[in-house]
Structure 1
Amino acid sequence: MRIIGRIPHPLMQISVFATDGRFPVQFELGGQAQIYRFRQSEQLRGLDDLRSLLDDDFLREVLVQFTAMQRMQARLLPGAEADAAADFPEII
């Protein structure tokens, strides 16, 4: 697996990899990560195609998932809840 690029975002680090006919895309925020894997195809050949695919609605949903993940983690570590909440944006 090799990194083929990054997609700029004001809140998350988004890294794009290439491996065995797939493009894993890793989103990182506040010590947590999500990875989505996309198959290479005629419509999806590289970084530019992924930039187009990952629209604002998709990125908003990724942020919603990070918020849910933070809540789950905060239930396990109640004392860390205030610190962790500062890492996440308010999603409306």
Structure 2
Amino acid sequence: MRIVEQIAHPQCQITVYAWNGKYLLKFEQPMLEQTYKVSEMDLTGPDEVKSLLNEAFIARVLRRFDEMRADWQQNLSDVS
């Protein structure tokens, strides 16, 4: 797996990888991560990957992090 680019964002770390004919878009916050895969054949090149990372999509990713965190906290409460 090769790192193509790391993209600065104030609320999460975004890393683009190239691996096995795909681009992996990995979003990370402490203790959580989300990964999205797109075939290299569906894009003209690595520069097009950044066009997928528009404001609306990143907002949904951040909301999903909130949901994931809430689900995990609920799960921990249920086990205790």
TM-score greater than 0.5 by the shorter chain: yes
Alignment-mate amino acid for residue 40 of structure 2 = Q
C-alpha contact (below 8 Å) 2:16/2:26 kept by paired residues: yes
Instruction: Calculate the TM-score normalised by the size of structure 2.
Output: 0.86
4+ residue segments displaced more than 3 Å: none
Counterpart of 1:61 in structure 2 is 60
- How many residues end up aligned between the 2 structures? 77
Superposed, which structure 2 residues align to 1:1-92 within 5 Å?
1-41=1-41, 43-46=43-46, 48-78=47-77
Equivalent-residue separation in structure 2 for 1:38 and 1:14 (angstroms):
15
Greater percentage in helix: 2
Unaligned runs of 5+ in 2: none
Tell me the percent identity. 32
Instruction: Calculate the TM-score normalised by the size of structure 1.
Output: 0.76
Q: CA RMSD in A?
A: 1.3
Equivalent-residue separation in structure 2 for 1:43 and 1:4 (angstroms):
14
C-alpha contact (below 8 Å) 2:23/2:37 kept by paired residues: yes
Equivalent-residue separation in structure 2 for 1:8 and 1:41 (angstroms):
26
